[in-house]
Structure 1
Amino acid sequence: MTFFVAALLVDAVGLGVTMARTAGWGCLAAVLLLVLLPPRISLTPGRLVVRDLFTTRVVLTDQLSALQWPADVSERVVLTDVRGTRAQPDFCLLRANPSLWLQLEADADESRRCGSLVRGTSCLDRLARRMDEEAARSVFRSSGIDQGLTVAVRGDGTAADLPTEVIRTASGSLEYRWEPRDGPVIVVLHGGHMRAGLSLGEKVYRAAGYSLLVPSRPGYGATDLSVGAAPEDFADAVAVLCGLLGIDQVEACAGVSAGGPTAVALAARHPDLVRRLVLESAVGPLSWPGAGTRRLGRVVFSPRSEGAVWRLTRWLLERRPEAALRMLLAELTTGRPQDVLDQLSGEHRAEAIALLSSMRSGRGFVNDLAQLGGGRRSWERRVVQPALVIASRRDGSVPYGHAVELARTLPRAELVDSEAAGHFVWFGPDRNRIEQLITAFLAQDATAGGG
């Protein structure tokens, strides 16, 4: 319409408006409208619907046979399903509508899993990396963080995970790592950004010959949120998992950081299963985290952006490890980040870099923020087992007050101060002392009258 009016205005001040010229300009405007009018696109799980002026096409996005995105040639993504139906959504449309991209990516991954996507898996991976780059730039801009770097995301970059298994339940998938040994079972519930394939603080249990059961909490790894988003619901799911594995007693449940509430819930709701608790840097019966961290966490570690953020983290750790560690550890201490760095031995520094380079948030961290903000929970005072609570007074991630409240709430709790300069008590200078205390605690009598 704008083109048509502009053409008539030009004629009015030039050659003059005639019926023939008006009809000609009208035809040309109509042709341009047909050519340039963008199709309307909508996406529901498994179906991409493209509507233009005359036709409607439906592409089965969970049954794709090909996905093409020519590098440096086209901004259009060509999708073809098993029936031969084709659609070409614009990359800019996907970039501007993250929910559209997330659904398309999930459907394309389903096509890959079921084997129908025979052409274009490399294009899908490249497209995902590009979207991660765009999301990372958006996140850092919206968060007011100017990293002063060009975002370069190349490959996954994660360390090889320890072997895990996935069990399908009526409520969803539950991922776990099972390390059977001659000794009794320790269940380890890790904190935020961790999954069953990653190990932290488990050396003390392996050295003593304990068997380890390490589930991925809801939203992390391959565990679905539907298995039990709330700590008490996932505690019940872990108890069911123990039964399926033939585990009728757990010597201790170790709750780490945001995994602490689930560990306490498991002990409270299943006292015949769990004999004792070991809680390290654990979230207690207080609201967590602070309002500022909660707001920023919802943006930075949302399912839309967490992949890009962790890839950027790996990139920084690879190229500027000292600066990257200082930046990351600043959020984990109430003191100076340099003090935490100075405490790290060469071995611990390498371990910290490997761990931080392998983390992912999935949908788990946003779920943690939603579930752990309420503070005190009804089942905490029902714990009858002995508990060892370990924390640092300089923890900037889970304040020391959580440990104090845990020791006050749990009737048979012992509070141990770590000399670590921050949240990572496993890298503190007194870790050997802490591990000796854990070993001695596990050897005590856990019955009602025992220590």
Structure 2
Amino acid sequence: MSSSQAATGARGAEAALPGPCAHDVHWAGERRSAVGVAFLLFTALFAVDAGFGSLDVPRGVLWTGLADLLSVVLLPSRVSVRPGLLSARGLLVTHTVRADSLASARWPDGVAPRMVLRDTEGSQVEIDPTVLVRNPAMWHLLDTGSRSSLRRDTLLRGATVLRRLAQRIDRETAHTVFKVSGSR
């Protein structure tokens, strides 16, 4: 199956599944932060160049391009979950996996925490697990789908990763409850 067929299949699956859709409620703030950091860099570079009297059109274009590049690099994927599907929309591409037919879940070591989910159709999504920690509705829908994958015996690798994430979410939830109730 080609990548365009996989993308079409994922879009078709997304349109076919009814039910609630949960989005990352913190995404807009992260987008504002990415654009704000890029704007601060642009302003600082522009001001320093203007202060030294070396600002001209090519340098202005260079600073604008550098700030735009930084905002693109910092822009987080927009993650959403609906019954049976998890999607991560980047700047140009949307990746979607069937949560109810997951084949593997990995949490590779690295500087940035990332969780890689792959379904039985070969589609793959890479997300920051803190998105699920911060959004209980998204985690609930993904957890329901992953339990379906376990029942169907399609999740061959990664049940431990999902269990570890569930424990982390439970800890964070308990901590929040204690904090709100004033017990801590």
User: TM tier, shorter chain?
Assistant: 0.7 to 0.9
Q: For 2:161, what is the secondary structure of its paired residue? A: helix
- The answer to whether the 8 A contact 1:69-1:127 is kept is no
Correspondence for 2:129 among 91, 94, 104: 91
Aligned-partner residue type, residue 29 of structure 1: A
Which structure has the greater CA radius of gyration?
A: 1
**TM-score normalised by length of structure 1:** 0.31
User: How far does the alpha carbon of each residue in 1:115-143 deviate from its partner, in whole angstroms, 9 at most, with x for none?
Assistant: 11101011111111111111111111111
Whether 1:48 and 2:97 are equivalent positions in the alignment is no
Distance in 1 of aligned mates of 2:112 and 2:67: 26
Q: For 1:42, what is the secondary structure of its paired residue? A: strand
Distance in 2 of aligned mates of 1:12 and 1:69: 46
Whether 1:57 and 2:92 are equivalent positions in the alignment is no
Root-mean-square deviation (CA, aligned residues, Å) is 1.8
Aligned-partner residue type, residue 181 of structure 2: S
Whether 1:9 and 2:32 are equivalent positions in the alignment is no
Instruction: Decide whether aligned partners of structure 1 residues 40 and 72 sit closer, same or farther in structure 2, where only a CA change above 3 A counts.
Output: closer
Partner of 1:445: none
Offset at residue 70 of structure 1 (A): 3.8
Partner of 1:66: 104
Instruction: Decide whether aligned partners of structure 1 residues 71 and 28 sit closer, same or farther in structure 2, where only a CA change above 3 A counts.
Output: closer
Aligned-partner residue type, residue 7 of structure 1: L
Partner of 2:20: none
User: How far does the alpha carbon of each residue in 1:45-91 deviate from its partner, in whole angstroms, 9 at most, with x for none?
Assistant: 01112212211222111111111124686522111111221112212
Offset at residue 18 of structure 1 (A): 0.9
Distance in 2 of aligned mates of 1:94 and 1:59: 15
Aligned-partner residue type, residue 100 of structure 1: M
Q: For 1:88, what is the secondary structure of its paired residue? A: strand
The structure with the largest helix share of the pair is 2
User: How far does the alpha carbon of each residue in 1:171-212 deviate from its partner, in whole angstroms, 9 at most, with x for none?
Assistant: xxxxxxxxxxxxxxxxxxxxxxxxxxxxxxxxxxxxxxxxxx
Offset at residue 10 of structure 1 (A): 1.9
Partner of 1:140: 178
Equivalent pairs: percent with the same residue? 38
Within 5 Å, which residues of 2 pair with 1:248-267?
none
Aligned-partner residue type, residue 83 of structure 2: P
Distance in 1 of aligned mates of 2:58 and 2:183: 59
Instruction: Decide whether aligned partners of structure 1 residues 77 and 111 sit closer, same or farther in structure 2, where only a CA change above 3 A counts.
Output: same
Partner of 2:70: 32
Distance in 2 of aligned mates of 1:74 and 1:32: 17
Instruction: Decide whether aligned partners of structure 1 residues 24 and 74 sit closer, same or farther in structure 2, where only a CA change above 3 A counts.
Output: closer
Aligned-partner residue type, residue 70 of structure 2: L
Partner of 1:419: none
Correspondence for 2:140 among 93, 102, 105: 102
Any gaps of 5 or more consecutive residues in structure 1?
147-451
Instruction: Decide whether aligned partners of structure 1 residues 133 and 71 sit closer, same or farther in structure 2, where only a CA change above 3 A counts.
Output: farther
Any gaps of 5 or more consecutive residues in structure 2?
1-37
Partner of 2:113: 75
Offset at residue 31 of structure 1 (A): 1.8
Within 5 Å, which residues of 2 pair with 1:248-287?
none
Instruction: Decide whether aligned partners of structure 1 residues 103 and 68 sit closer, same or farther in structure 2, where only a CA change above 3 A counts.
Output: same
Distance in 2 of aligned mates of 1:137 and 1:126: 17
Offset at residue 30 of structure 1 (A): 2.1
Q: For 2:127, what is the secondary structure of its paired residue? A: coil
Partner of 2:33: none
Distance in 2 of aligned mates of 1:132 and 1:54: 34
Instruction: Decide whether aligned partners of structure 1 residues 5 and 19 sit closer, same or farther in structure 2, where only a CA change above 3 A counts.
Output: same
Correspondence for 2:159 among 114, 117, 121: 121
Q: For 1:111, what is the secondary structure of its paired residue? A: helix
Partner of 1:22: 60
Q: For 1:103, what is the secondary structure of its paired residue? A: helix
Q: Which protein has greater RCO, CA pairs closer than 8 Å, 6+ apart? A: 2
Instruction: Decide whether aligned partners of structure 1 residues 14 and 92 sit closer, same or farther in structure 2, where only a CA change above 3 A counts.
Output: farther
